[in-house]
Amino acid sequence: MSKACPAHTDPARFIRSLRFNNIKGAAETIRENNALGAVCARVCPTERYCESACTRAKIDHPINIGGLQRFITDIEQEMGMQILKAGKPTGQKVAIIGAGPAGLQAATTLRQYGVAVTIFEEHPKAGGYLTYGIPEYRLPQEIVDYEVKRIIDLGAEIRCNIKVGKDISFDQLKADYDAVLVTVGNSKAKTLPMFEHNICTESAISFLARVKNGELHENELPDHVLVIGGGDVAMDVATTLKKLGVSNVTDVAYEEFNEFKASKNELAGTRKAGVTLIDGYVPTKVATNVVTFKHRKLDAELTIKADKIIYAVGQTSDLTGLEIDLQHSESQLWSAKYQTKDAKVFAAGDLVDGDQTVVFAVQKGKEAAKVIMNTLGGVNHD
């Protein structure tokens, strides 16, 4: 089953340890491959990865692997276990831009190799989308803070409120460090031209960040909100709105239900929250707070009037101030290479091909750290 996990965690091993009441052994199995094991236990779409490969699925239903991993990492936290250790110092220094999942995992792996690591984060807190996007009901901030503290205790330095390209130049980082890893993530919302400059609209990224930061005021919660999108982010927005007490939340998605990008668990949670879900429709025009949709396959139109419109139609990276060339494909590095045209500059996370889930960010961060070590003359501990 470890082959089905992007982070290469072996559920069979930690379940076996748990069966014999060896909690530390179980935690070691998780942590040796995933520095964000407690986070992934809560937000990983396990039905898409490890549970889909579980042999029990052919008999009745798969083992609740995510639940078991959460149980183990919760006990690990309660007992204050210190599983990971820093390697013998190599004298090498690496700068990481962005303290999201890929950057945090890369920092952990590099520290295990003995490399000094400094992470530069433009926001006040580390975590990236874990801190500023995923709702509290799915991922409590105390879990993110716990994971970050463990990485700091491993010896990684995290410097927040510093935007590379503004507060410090990219060239300065290249001069001061042996390598620079860019893991800025997809923090910029994509939009549709029809929604630009519309006073009734807001991006999902902006909305979720304001909720997490406590910046959303009660008078901003109208009776009817329209959400556009069919991914996990759209489901997070819709469910969050219901939890905040919004009476009518309608989500309209381009995808039909059999195509939904959202995980089955997220989709089920959104339905349970009482959100109205409409699939297979594309927005064709908008007049302030009235949106007209056309079905992708049927000869049908739909018009919805809402007090507020929140769109979740994709995200992209903001590379302002970072003079790097990532155009090896249309918008990303090719998979499993991690090096840009500049021999000293690497990239990981959402900037690299592959799923944009937390567990895939962990995989990319780990692999990028190994590529950096090989480039610097270190040892690849495969």
* Ramachandran bin of 277, using left for φ above 0, alpha for ψ from -120 to 50, beta for the remaining angles: beta
Number of domains making up the chain: 3
Residues 193 and 288 in one domain: yes
Task: Specify if 141 maps to a domain.
Answer: yes
Structure tokens at 99: 């303290």
User: Average pLDDT of 240-254?
Assistant: 96
- Residue 284 identity (one-letter amino acid): T
Residue 99 predicted with pLDDT over 70? yes
How many degrees, rounded to 5, is the angle at CA 135 between CA 131 and CA 139? 70
b/e sequence 133-154, b meaning 16+ C-beta within 10 Å: bbbeebbeeebbeebbebbeeb
* Portion of the chain with pLDDT greater than 90, in percent: 70
Q: How far apart are CA 100 and CA 362, in angstroms?
A: 10
Predicted local distance difference test score (pLDDT) of residue 252: 98
Structure tokens at 198: 């519309």
Among 295, 315, 335, the domain-final residue is 315
Which of 156, 130, 122, 102 has the alpha carbon at shortest distance from 346?
102
Residues 32 and 117 in one domain: no
Q: How far apart are CA 12 and CA 44, in angstroms?
A: 17
Query: What's the CATH code of the domain at 101?
Result: 3.50.50.60
For 314-372, the pLDDT digits (tens) are 888 888 877 676 544 444 454 447 888 888 999 998 888 777 889 999 999 999 999 99
Predicted local distance difference test score (pLDDT) of residue 178: 97
For 10-31, the pLDDT digits (tens) are 888 888 999 899 999 999 999 9
Phi/psi of residue 345, each to 5°? -115, 130
User: Average pLDDT of 86-103?
Assistant: 96
Between these two residues, 237 and 328, which has the higher pLDDT value? 237
Q: How far apart are CA 186 and CA 206, in angstroms?
A: 13
Task: Specify if 88 maps to a domain.
Answer: no
Which of 236, 214, 296 has the alpha carbon at shortest distance from 42?
236
Among 298, 315, 332, the domain-final residue is 315
- Residue 187 identity (one-letter amino acid): S
Residues 296 and 231 in one domain: yes
Structure tokens at 221: 């919660």
Number of H helices, E strands in the chain: 12, 15
Task: Specify if 84 maps to a domain.
Answer: no
Task: Specify if 257 maps to a domain.
Answer: yes
Which three-class secondary structure state does DSSP give residue 351? helix
Strand ranges inside 2-69, DSSP E: none
| Domain of 347, in residue numbers | 93-187+317-375
User: Average pLDDT of 89-112?
Assistant: 97
Task: Specify if 25 maps to a domain.
Answer: yes
Which three-class secondary structure state does DSSP give residue 363? helix
Task: Specify if 36 maps to a domain.
Answer: yes
* Residue 293 pLDDT grade (very low, low, confident, very high; cuts 50, 70, 90): very high
Structure tokens at 171: 């060239």
Q: For the chain, give the mean pLDDT.
A: 89
For 177-195, the pLDDT digits (tens) are 999 999 998 888 899 999 9
Task: Specify if 87 maps to a domain.
Answer: no
Predicted local distance difference test score (pLDDT) of residue 352: 84
Is 208:133 a contact under the CB 8 Å cutoff?
yes
Is 133:101 a contact under the CB 8 Å cutoff?
no
Predicted local distance difference test score (pLDDT) of residue 380: 45
Predicted local distance difference test score (pLDDT) of residue 53: 45
Residues 344 and 288 in one domain: no
Query: What's the CATH code of the domain at 40?
Result: 1.10.1060.10
Residue 382 predicted with pLDDT over 70? no
For 118-169, the pLDDT digits (tens) are 999 999 999 999 999 999 999 999 999 999 999 999 999 999 999 999 999 9
* Strand 201-203, strand 308-311: pairing: parallel
User: Average pLDDT of 296-313?
Assistant: 96
For 31-82, the pLDDT digits (tens) are 999 999 999 999 987 665 555 544 544 445 557 888 899 999 999 999 999 9
